[in-house]
Chains A and B, each alone.
Chain A
Amino acid sequence: MRLLYKEILAKDQSTRILKFILEAKDIALKAKPGQFVVLMVKKEGERIPLTIVEALPQEGTIILIAQEVGLTTKLLAQMKVGESLYALVGPLGNPTPIKNYGRVILVGGGVGIAELYPVAKALKKADNHITLILGARTKEVLILEAELKVLASDFYITTDDGSYKRKGVVTDVLKELLEDSSGVYNFIYAVGPVPMMLAVSQITKNYNLPTVVSLNSLMVDGTGMCGCCRLTIGGRTRFVCIDGPDFDAHSVNWQELINRNRMYVEKEKEICKLYEKTTS
């Protein structure tokens, strides 16, 4: 639970994305791509899920990457090397099924690129032909470009504002690739902001392409005990924490996910404002 290393991977005026290396011997031994941890920074804090970006069993450490969004990620970013989390538990969720699918397209947006990284590495190891499409709001907040580039046979980057590589969104590229040669791809995996995953899902549905997304619903315990993360998937209620986090994109009730993820927006604003007041 001890923080061994911290690095700011990217930042601009509005946000920062940080990398954390944490001591977590037991978790590092078990973690597989696609799995996550639940952590608490402080005793009075929230429990939040974060994807395990890398597990180093020999070192007994795990790597997490988080963007400062809510209070908990801000508090996490404030932690000093040598300090310990209040709680850290995992690995949770089901690993992403890794096999040789053939030609795969991996789509990552924003901090979701960090979650894509372990899956991309594992799929590469399983001899898949990998096309990567990464998207960021702007150049400054694009992460893991070099790490991912070496895994990809075809590599695309988009930025919303055109500050780097292609101006536009990841689905612009995806659409073109599929229009040109949809029959060539066997599997799509996407992780990022919900609107991005939804857009990916809508496109690949037209081509009937197997598409898996890693969902980021709100959680409390992360072990199937509360049902906070539940969603209608394929017409029935599933728990993202124990049934997921990966699901068939075409079966997800996206509007429900969007709504449920906004359930505490007001409270989050209130607490962040309070926090800024006390720290400034």
Chain B
Amino acid sequence: MKKQPVKVKEKDVYARVKNFEEVVEGFSEQEAQEEASRCLQCKDPRCISGCPVGINIKKFISQITQKDYLGAYLTIREKNDFPSICGRVCPAEYQCRKSCVLTKKDALFASPEAIQIHFLERFIGDYGLKNNLWQKIPLRKDTLLNQKKVAVVGSGPAGLACAGELARQGIKVVVFEGLHQVGGVLRYGIPEFRLPRIVLDKEIEIIKNLGVEIHTNIIIGRTKLLEELFKEGYSAVFLGLGAGTPSFLNISGENLCNIYSANEFLTRLNLMGSGYFPQYHTPLNIGKKIVVIGGGNTAMDAARSALRLQYINGLKGEVAIAYRRTEEEMPARRLEIEHAKEEGIKFEFLIKPQEFLGDKSGKVKKIRFLRCRLGEPDSSGRPRPEVIPGSLFERDCDLAIIAIGLSANRILTQVTPQIKVDKYGDIVVDPDTMQTSFKGVFAGGDIVGGEGTVIEAMGMAKKASQAIREYLSRL
């Protein structure tokens, strides 16, 4: 008889909506053993090709079954620097698990039977953190390169991954971060209930232990220009700038009070500690009827954070997510959608905001929506939401969060015309080396090709780090 998937432990829904503690508790050793033993160890494993960084999944799962956790950790770390993070935030159901042979043919995303690779990765990542296994990773110090200095701009997933890779080869790396804390989107964007800060802090600590210096409060393009870094003795630069600027809907009333971008809402909460106001001084308003617009992970994060704030502030939980397509097309992780539903967040599909209405003091009080139906596929390959004429209706709303995506932050590229950008403001790179049109400057993450996942950003950073190494050895 086929073994059933091991159900990962999660915090009780009634308790968890009143705090920001991590929802998924992860596998115990026994559970990891049991889940790993379900892996068929395919001769021609498809899961690996589903992983953006090509982790040898078959091998690390086999190592788990042999209780060779160090081996499993080293196998993952060959390709991925942050297994504890990726094991928590990777959309595995669209990636490795979707490619798993146990996923039904032509499924949109992984079947429940598919091996829960992400939870196994997390188990190993956490085991590694707890036992300081990073110290066992072989350093590949190259004496020819250890005179060279590389600057990394941005301390998000791409920047940290690139810095770690280069430092392990004996290259001196200095990371410049614009904000006052390290981690980029992992810090300001992803809530604690998905990625506890202790995990992030430990991963950053490891990077620092490799000799990487991190300078906060420095914006390259403002505080210092890119050209100046080369003058200061850096031989190459990696840009992991992120997809900085929130998009808005461009509809009437959008700048009313209590309408936030998801970036602002989450930044106030995650980076500035607004959940602890007044101990922390940055305020954040909370509504009785909150509407989140969008269908990605950021929308789920914002909605679930808002719901928690309602409960913490003694309000009834009333958060709705409005999405213009259907659940199937939602880009969010299936797990986040499930968790959001369990927690009591309402979903309204096939509706599109038309206008925000405000009260006398300029605060939002209603949203006008139009109903949609699915039409022919658009450029994204998903069916285009078509407005149904005459379908206008209103919903009460005293706080709205817009989570419809981000576009490139142009602070650096605006003052650095040598760097070629595309029409979206994203940096154009040679896909083989991640090198930009500026000699010695490489880029990766969301600033290349728009919004992607943490693991994709790390994959690009990894590729760039190899190219940087080669570039340095030619100097």
Contact = CB atoms under 8 A, between A and B. Distances in A.
Nearest to A270: B278
Contact of A225 (B248, B254, B263, B362): B263
B219 interface: yes
B255 A92 contact: no
A224 B281 CA distance: 21
B273 A268 contact: no
B258 interface: yes
Interface stretch (B40-48, B61-69, B120-128, B264-272): B264-272
Interface residues on A, range: 35 or more
B223 A27 contact: yes
A199 interface: no
Interface residues of B, number: 44
B180 A92 contact: no
A91 B277 CA distance: 28
A134 to B, nearest CB: 30
Contacts of B263: 225-227
B229 interface: no
B283 to A, nearest CB: 4
A26 interface: yes
A259 B178 contact: no
Contacts of B272: 46-47, 220
Which of B217, B268, B363 is most buried by chain A, counting CB atoms within 10 A of its CB? B217
A226 B223 contact: no
Contacts of B216: 87
Interface string B180-212: 100000001000000000000000000000000
A258 B257 CA distance: 10
B428 to A, nearest CB: 20
Contacts of A267: 277-278, 283, 285
B279 interface: yes
A163 B258 CA distance: 40
A206 to B, nearest CB: 26
Nearest to B414: A242
B219 A89 contact: yes
Interface of B: 178-180, 188, 216-219, 222-224, 244-246, 248, 250, 254-258, 260-261, 263-264, 267-268, 272-273, 276-283, 285, 361-363, 409-411
The 3 closest A-B pairs by CB, nearest first: A259-B362, A226-B264, A87-B180
Given A87-B217, A91-B222, A267-B277, 19 more contacts: A26-B218, A44-B273, A44-B276, A46-B282, A47-B272, A88-B217, A89-B179, A90-B219, A90-B223, A220-B264, A220-B268, A225-B246, A227-B248, A242-B409, A242-B411, A259-B362, A263-B258, A264-B283, A271-B283
30 contacts: A26-B218, A27-B223, A30-B223, A44-B281, A45-B281, A46-B281, A71-B281, A89-B178, A89-B218, A221-B179, A223-B178, A224-B245, A224-B409, A224-B411, A225-B245, A226-B267, A228-B260, A232-B255, A237-B250, A239-B245, A258-B362, A259-B362, A259-B363, A263-B257, A263-B285, A267-B283, A267-B285, A271-B277, A271-B278, A271-B283
